[in-house]
Amino acid sequence: MVLNLDALGPHFHPPRDAQRVIGTYLYPLYFFGVQDPADAYSATEVITAVQAGPHEILITRMGGLFVRPPSELSDLHRATDEDEPADDLSAKLAFEDEASNAFNRLICELCLLGVVSQPTSPVHISYVLLAHGHVVITGAAGGREFYRERTMGPLADLLGPNWLMWPIRPETVLQKAGSLTRANRLAEISPSMPEFVAGAYSLYSQRQINEALADSWVVCEQLLNYLWQRHCAEMADKPRKKRLDDTRTYSASVRLEVLRTAELLPDSLYQVLHKARDHRNKLLHRAKMDFQATSESMTAMKMMLEDILGEPIEPPETLQGVNW
The pLDDT score that the predictor gives to residue 254 is 85
CA distances from 129 to 18, 160, 256 (A): 6, 22, 51
Q: How far is CA 18 from CA 13, 15, 97, in A?
A: 10, 5, 24
Question: What pLDDT, on the 0 to 100 scale, is given for residue 84?
Answer: 74
Determine the Cα–Cα distance for residues 254 and 117; give it in Å rounded to an integer: 35
Instruction: Say whether 65 sits in a helix, a strand or coil.
Output: strand
**Residues 6+ away with beta carbon under 8 Å from 281:** none
Helix (H, G, I), strand (E, B) or coil at 324: coil
Q: Which DSSP string corresponds to 105-145?
A: HHHHHHHHTT-------GGG-EEEEEBTTB----B---SSS
The answer to whether 151 touches 126, Cβ cutoff 8 Å, is yes
- Mind listing the pLDDT tens digit for each residue in 231-280? 887 766 667 666 776 666 677 888 888 888 888 899 999 999 999 999 99
DSSP state letter for 265: S
CA distance 56 to 46: 12
23 sits in which H/E element: strand 19-25
Q: What is the CB-side half-sphere exposure of residue 298 using CA atoms within 13 A?
A: 27
pLDDT for residue 110: 98
With beta carbons less than 8 A apart as the criterion, state whether 175 and 287 touch.
Answer: no
The C-alpha atoms of residue 101 and residue 235 are separated, in whole angstroms, by 34
Instruction: Quote the DSSP letter at residue 246.
Output: -
Domain boundaries, the chain: 6-177, 192-309
Taking 70 as the pLDDT cut, the residues of the chain under it are 1-12, 80-82, 235-238, 240-242, 245-249
Residue 317 · residue 205 · CB < 8 Å: yes
Name the amino acid, one letter, at 276.
Answer: A
Q: How far apart are CA 75 and CA 215, in angstroms?
A: 37
